[in-house]
């Protein structure tokens, strides 16, 4: 091989080596950018699909105002004690019972105190009491942000009226779970041995209702 040809071969080899060393990092970088582009494109597609689903859910939500209102009334945004008192008074009177007293136990405050409001049979507040106690944290299966409001009440009436009252509580729009029931006979006999006419029974009911906080 003569010298000019050898020089040309060496020149071509050096040119190829330099080109390889220069373009190879650029090629790797471009390949990496293509992979990143594909990844971000996939994320963009997922975001767009999620946005469409959210828009669909929003339309369904707006198309069911009655159902949304029912859910809001079942678990209201606040404890709404005045509204709850009205409901209990109506449930009692509509089923032939007299609502004597009601007490509402609010969730524990930061100082672990309980507040109670007592009302008489006319629905008027007669006292408010607070106290401390080591009630401890109770494990519940309630969704996050949902609080429990305990209600204790006393009623007077017949057993049949009380049964219909419990059914009405169960079917009430605002969720109420009866936790305990107690009762005692009411009435006395006069000196002749007859009934004084003050017949019926006193009922004690404890229940839990819920609200979003």
Which residue segment(s) compose the domain that 21 sits in? 1-63
Same domain as 195, residue 92 = yes
pLDDT band at 109 (very low <50, low <70, confident <90, very high): very low
Name 190's Cβ contacts closer than 8 Å, sequence gap at least 6.
196
Same domain as 85, residue 33 = no
Instruction: Give the pLDDT confidence score for residue 52 in this predicted structure.
Output: 87
Q: Are 85 and 123 in contact (CB under 8 A)?
A: yes
Please state, in angstroms and rounded to a whole number, the distance separating the CA atoms of residues 54 and 167: 39
In a domain, 93, yes or no: yes
Please state, in angstroms and rounded to a whole number, the distance separating the CA atoms of residues 155 and 92: 8
In a domain, 55, yes or no: yes
Residue 102 has pLDDT above 90, yes or no: yes
In a domain, 70, yes or no: no
In a domain, 137, yes or no: yes
In a domain, 141, yes or no: yes
pLDDT band at 98 (very low <50, low <70, confident <90, very high): very high
Mean pLDDT of 169-180: 91
CATH number at residue 178: 3.30.70.60
Same domain as 88, residue 41 = no
Same domain as 135, residue 32 = no
Same domain as 101, residue 36 = no
Across 81-164, where does the E strand assignment appear?
A: 98-105, 113-119, 125-132, 146-157
pTM: 0.54
Please state, in angstroms and rounded to a whole number, the distance separating the CA atoms of residues 95 and 161: 6
**Lowest-confidence region among 65-69, 159-163, 191-195:** 191-195
In a domain, 202, yes or no: yes
Same domain as 147, residue 101 = yes
- Locate 102 and state its tokens: 């009601």
Same domain as 180, residue 118 = yes
In a domain, 180, yes or no: yes
Same domain as 150, residue 85 = yes
**Lowest-confidence region among 61-65, 104-108, 166-170, 194-198:** 194-198
Greatest mean pLDDT among 2-6, 115-119, 127-131, 201-205 = 201-205
Same domain as 110, residue 59 = no
Mean pLDDT of the chain: 76
Domains contained in the chain, number: 2
Same domain as 111, residue 19 = no
How crowded is residue 20: how many other Cβ atoms within 10 Å of its Cβ? 10
In a domain, 71, yes or no: no
pLDDT digit string (tens) for 142-159?
Answer: 778 888 999 999 999 999
Same domain as 113, residue 24 = no
Residue 96 has pLDDT above 90, yes or no: yes
Same domain as 143, residue 110 = yes
């Amino acid at each position: 091989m003569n010298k000019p040809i050898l020089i040309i071969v060496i020149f071509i080899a050096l040119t190829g080596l330099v080109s390889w060393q220069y373009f190879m990092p650029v090629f790797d970088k471009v390949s990496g950018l293509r992979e990143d582009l594909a990844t971000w494109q996939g994320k963009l597609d997922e975001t767009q699909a999620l946005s469409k689903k959210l828009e669909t859910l929003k339309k369904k939500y707006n198309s069911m105002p009655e159902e949304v209102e029912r859910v809001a009334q079942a678990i209201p945004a606040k404890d709404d004690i005045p509204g709850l008192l009205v409901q209990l008074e109506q449930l009692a009177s509509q089923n032939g019972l007299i609502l004597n007293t009601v007490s509402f136990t609010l969730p524990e405050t930061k100082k672990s105190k309980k507040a109670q409001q007592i009302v008489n049979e006319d629905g008027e507040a007669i006292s408010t009491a607070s106290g401390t106690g080591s009630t401890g944290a109770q494990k519940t299966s309630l969704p996050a942000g949902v609080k429990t409001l305990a209600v204790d009440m006393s009623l007077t009436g017949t057993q049949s009226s009380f049964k219909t009252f419990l059914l009405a509580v169960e079917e009430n729009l605002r969720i109420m779970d009866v936790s305990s029931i107690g009762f005692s006979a009411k009435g006395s006999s006069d000196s002749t041995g007859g009934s004084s006419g003050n017949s019926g029974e006193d009922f004690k009911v404890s229940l839990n209702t819920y609200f979003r906080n």
